[in-house]
Amino acid sequence: MHRINENAYVETRTKKKVRQERGEYMEGMEVSNGKIADQLHLMAQLLEILEENPFKIRAYIRAAEVIGRLATPVAALSPKDLETIAGIGPAIAEKVHEIAANGTFPELEEARGRVPPGLIEMLTLEGVGPKTARVLWKKLHIETLDDLEKAARGHRIRTLKGFGEKKERGFLKAIAIARQRKEERRMTRLEADLVIEEVKRVMREGTYDVAGSYRRGKSTIGDIDIVSVDTPSTLNRRLTQIADEVLDEGERKTSFRCRGSRVDIRYTTRSTLGTMLLYLTGSKAFNIRLREIALQKGWRLNEYGIRDLTLGTVHEFSREAEIFSFLGMDPIVPELREDWGEIDAALSHNLPNLVERSQIRSDLHVHSSWSDGNLDIPALAKAGEAHGYTHLLCTDHSSSLGIARGLDEPALRRQAHEIEISNRDSSCQILHGVEVDILADGTTGLPSRILKDLDVVIGSVHSAFSQEIDVMTRRVLSAIGNEHIDIIGHPTGRLLGQREAYAIDMPRVIAAAAEAGKALECNASPFRMDIDDLHIREAVTKGVPISIGTDSHGPGDLAWMDYGVKLCRRGWAEPGNILNTMSVDGLREWAS
């Protein structure tokens, strides 16, 4: 029997208390919604392994789903406020506060102590859910990944009822993938684009679609999923031209590495392309909800079509739109497929009219050679023309950011003159702005007398990232309260794969921006993608405008606008929510 380590739990609580007394820890602010949701979901899985009350299991699953897609940090909410959220009752609210304070809660640790630790790791494998894990544990005494691998290689799995040779091969493949992923990191969208361009070289136009998290517009990508109607044997031969390593090759699926990243090609037919693309695009939660809707109608939905469970007939779909229509709902674009309310909206024909790339008239965060960019003002205008923009907002750094050769008052005056000359002959007008530092005490890196004469001002944090959450939040709120700052740039300061977001209470920031009529930036740089989709959606709900900026430092960087548009679409943003859809005069009027 694996017992709870009560001393460890008490020690954790004691350490937290000591840190609170020292002022080093603020309860409820260290634990993200994602981490809380993970703990609640783990509790559900452990209870299922232990064959506990199914209603209790469902309550934990539902609470994990709800908390996982909320933008508001639930750890900071009172029990009373928590209980107002659908799916969270008094008992779950108590667990949330335990997790916020201690990173766990007693019932979870008690359940964890009743199963082998390696069983929890097994739950991360594709094809291993709680029920499968319990059978393997109880019937074959499998407690670790190594145990599972040995049992599969020794052909012991197939001795279990409902398991067979195919299951054994699946477990071995899942273990190999899990071990590979431990050594991998998620790609930025720019890195994913480079991989996809490489793969496109050997694929015939019109025979494939990119699916997965890439198609949904996520900030980072795990691996590349592609659906192809090409002939497997023919395409597999061509793929060897660009593969670093072939991991698996077959008639239904081929997996390989390209530029160090995993690519999975899934083969299908023209007649089933729609359902296969829908399935592989995901998300998992979205697919589960669609399958539930199909079951309510007496149908079974999978990657090959929809089977009528009464008649036994199978409906195939070559296009995704046909599936949505068959289910009685409006088509849902990939960016919304997260089970965040889009399915109900589609059923009631009330989906948002999302912003389109073609509606973007400007890039509202670009740098020139006046600071750390490599284009002068006329070249910047020409680059804007090439992208079809009517205007660009030039926002070079303020002089307080010394590493970026920032601008002081005399330099800004000289830059204004160059912009005036460039605008005489260019169809892309350059607006004169600045990206002014929000200093550690909340003041700005340039005085008001300078900022007031600029067209649009972005205020950004570039230093003192380790400030506590209340200090950082008040620092940014101070900038929002500055009458000369119009936009808060890259509001959480994250650098994907390099630096976590600094501690900041985004709901407070969003509320303050709404009250002050200020905008928040969706920084479209693939290295930032800041703010994220959840915060964009909350901002949109509160009426806060979103400004998309590529943070461009060179001509190629302007193409990153596509990343920002997709991120805003994931946040349910419509054209009226985005400053970039305004005319140059409309933007000036908004900022005045």
The CATH number for 61's domain is 1.10.150.110
Confidence of residue 292 (pLDDT cuts 50, 70, 90): very high
Return d(Cα 288, Cα 5) in angstroms, integer.
36
C-beta contacts of 300-309 below 8 A and 24+ residues apart: 301/275, 302/275, 303/268, 303/272, 303/275, 303/276, 303/278, 303/279, 304/272, 304/275, 304/276, 305/272, 305/275, 306/275
The pLDDT of residue 87 is 83
Is position 51 within any domain?
yes
Query: Which structure tokens are listed for 288?
Result: 């589960």
CATH of residue 127's domain is: 1.10.150.20
Number of domains composing the chain: 5
Give the mean pLDDT of 108-123.
90
Q: Are residues 420 and 486 in the same domain?
A: yes
Local confidence band at 177 (pLDDT 50, 70, 90 cut-offs): confident
Q: What is the phi/psi pair of residue 372, to 5°? A: -110, 15
Q: Is the pLDDT of residue 371 over 80?
A: yes
Mark whether 447 and 583 lie in a shared domain.
Answer: yes
> Residues 315, 427: one domain?
no
- Examine residue 158 and state whether it is found in any structural domain, yes or no: yes
CATH of the domain at 335: 3.30.210.10
**Mean per-residue pLDDT for 222-245?**
94
Q: Which of 64-68, 147-151, 368-372, 584-588 has the lowest mean pLDDT?
A: 64-68
Q: Provide the residue range defining the domain that includes 93.
A: 6-112
For residues 393 and 284, membership in a common domain is answered with no
Mean pLDDT over 96-122 rounds to 89
Strand order in the sheet with 261-267: 208-210, 224-228, 261-267, 253-258, 245-248
Based on the domain organization, do 87 and 20 belong to the same domain? yes
Region 522-528 average pLDDT:
96
One domain for residues 209 and 71:
no
Strand pairing of 187-188 and 220-221?
Answer: antiparallel
Phi, psi of 133 (to 5 degrees): -60, -40
Is 519 in the same domain as 457?
Answer: yes
Q: Is 163 among the domain residues?
A: yes
Rounded mean pLDDT, 353-373? 96
Pick the residue with more confidence: 524 or 77? 524
The whole-number pLDDT of residue 535 equals 95
Q: Residue 34: its pLDDT value, please?
A: 82
Peptide bond just before 99 cis, omega within 30 deg:
no
pLDDT reported for residue 124: 86
H helix and E strand count, the chain? 25, 17
* Partners of residue 457 on adjacent β-strands: 434
Q: Tell me, what DSSP letter sits at residue 502?
A: P
> CA 187, 563, 415 angle in degrees (round to 5)?
115
> Comparing 48-57, 96-105, 234-243, 335-344, which segment has the lowest mean pLDDT?
96-105
469 and 551 belong to one structural domain: yes
Q: What is the pLDDT of residue 362?
A: 98
- Of 182, 211, 233, the last residue of a domain is 182
**Final residue of a structural domain among 182, 203, 222:** 182
- Calculate what percentage of the chain has a pLDDT beyond 90: 74
Cα gap 121→141, rounded to integer Å: 15
CATH number of the domain where residue 227 is located: 3.30.460.10
> Tokens 């089977």 belong to which residue?
307
Enter the tokens of residue 328: 């009685």
- Nearest by Cα to 361 from 337, 331, 334, 393: 393
Distance CA 512, CA 27 (A): 23
pLDDT higher than threshold 50 for residue 119: yes
Provide the pLDDT for residue 406.
85
Percent of the chain with pLDDT over 70: 93
Q: What is the pLDDT of residues 236-266, one digit of tens each?
A: 999 999 999 999 999 999 999 998 899 999 9
- Which of 169-173, 219-223, 454-458 is least confident? 169-173
Give dist(CA 30, CA 505) in Å, integer. 11
Identify which has the larger pLDDT, 59 or 72: 59
Q: Which of 165-169, 239-243, 281-285, 457-461 has the lowest mean pLDDT?
A: 165-169
The answer as to whether 560 is a domain residue is yes
Domain boundary among 66, 85, 112: 112
Sheet holding 299-302, edge to edge: 299-302, 305-308, 314-315
Assess if residue 361 is contained within a domain.
yes
C-alpha neighbours within 13 Å on the C-beta side of residue 561:
25
Contact at 8 Å (CB) between 501 and 530? yes
329 close to 560: Cβ distance less than 8 angstroms = no
Q: Say if 1 falls within a structural domain.
A: no
**Per-residue pLDDT band at 184 (split at 50, 70, 90):** low
SS3 call for 442: coil
| Identity of the residue numbered 377 | I
Band (404; pLDDT cuts 50, 70, 90): low
The rounded mean pLDDT for the chain is 90
**Ramachandran class of 69: left when φ > 0, alpha when ψ lies in -120 to 50, beta otherwise:** alpha
- Secondary structure class of 545 (helix, strand, coil): coil
Helices (H), 424-560: 448-451, 469-480, 506-516, 533-541
Q: What is the pLDDT of residues 462-485, one digit of tens each?
A: 999 989 999 999 999 999 999 999
3-state secondary structure of 522: strand
What is the structure's pLDDT at 6? 33
Report the C-alpha gap between 201 and 182 in whole angstroms: 29
**Sign of the alpha-carbon dihedral angle for 233, 237, 239, 245:** positive
What pLDDT score does 272 carry? 97
Domain assignment present for 352:
no
pLDDT of residue 77: 83
Q: What pTM, to 2 d.p., does this model score?
A: 0.77
Which pLDDT value is given to residue 9? 33
Are residues 572 and 585 located together in one domain of the fold?
yes
569 within a domain of the structure (yes/no): yes
Instruction: Output DSSP code: residue 428.
Output: S
Query: Cα(437)–Cα(470) distance, rounded to whole angstroms?
Result: 19
- In the predicted structure, residue 556 carries a pLDDT above the cut 70: yes
Q: Both 102 and 136 in a single domain?
A: no
- Residues 6 or more apart whose CB falls under 8 angstroms from that of 583 comprise 361, 390
CATH number of the structural domain spanning residue 452: 3.20.20.140
- Kindly tell me if the per-residue pLDDT of 439 is higher than 60: yes
CB count in 10 Å sphere of residue 99: 24
CA distance 592 to 588: 6
pLDDT, residue 30, reads: 54
- The phi and psi torsions of 252 (rounded to 5 degrees) equal -105, -35
pLDDT of the residue at 5 = 35
Q: Which comes out higher in pLDDT, residue 498 or 112?
A: 112
Cis peptide before 283 (omega within 30 of 0): yes
Among 18-22, 50-54, 214-218, 454-458, which stretch is predicted with the lowest mean pLDDT? 18-22
The pLDDT of residue 94 is above 70: yes
Q: Which of 147-151, 488-492, 516-520 has the lowest mean pLDDT?
A: 147-151
Q: Which of 171, 178, 176, 169 is nearest to 132 (CA)?
A: 171
**Mean of pLDDT values over 179-194:** 81
In whole angstroms, give the CA distance from residue 287 to residue 283.
Answer: 6
Judge contact between 540 and 567, C-beta under 8 A.
Answer: no
Instruction: Please give the DSSP secondary-structure letter assigned to residue 580.
Output: G
CA distances to 207, 275, 536 from 287, rounded to whole Å, are 24, 11, 24
Kindly state the tokens that stand for 483: 């009458």
Over residues 102-109, mean pLDDT: 90
What confidence score (pLDDT) does residue 201 get? 92
Give Cα 370 distance to the centre of its chain. 33
SS3 state at 88: coil
Strand 362-366 and strand 314-315: pairing? unpaired
Instruction: Tell me, yes or no, whether 150 and 236 share the same domain.
Output: no
**Average of per-residue pLDDT across 23-46:** 72
At residue 65 the predicted structure's pLDDT band, cuts being 50, 70 and 90, is confident
- How far apart are the C-alpha atoms of 561 and 32, rounded to whole Å? 28
14: pLDDT strictly greater than 70: no
What would the mean pLDDT of 180-201 be, rounded to a whole number? 86
* Max avg pLDDT among 72-76, 110-114, 539-543: 539-543
Same domain? 377 vs 322: no
**Burial tier of 316 (Cβ tally within 10 Å: 0-12, 13-18, 19+):** middle
CA distance 104 to 98: 6
pLDDT at 7 exceeding the cut of 70: no
9's tokens: 């739990």
pLDDT at 2 over 70: no
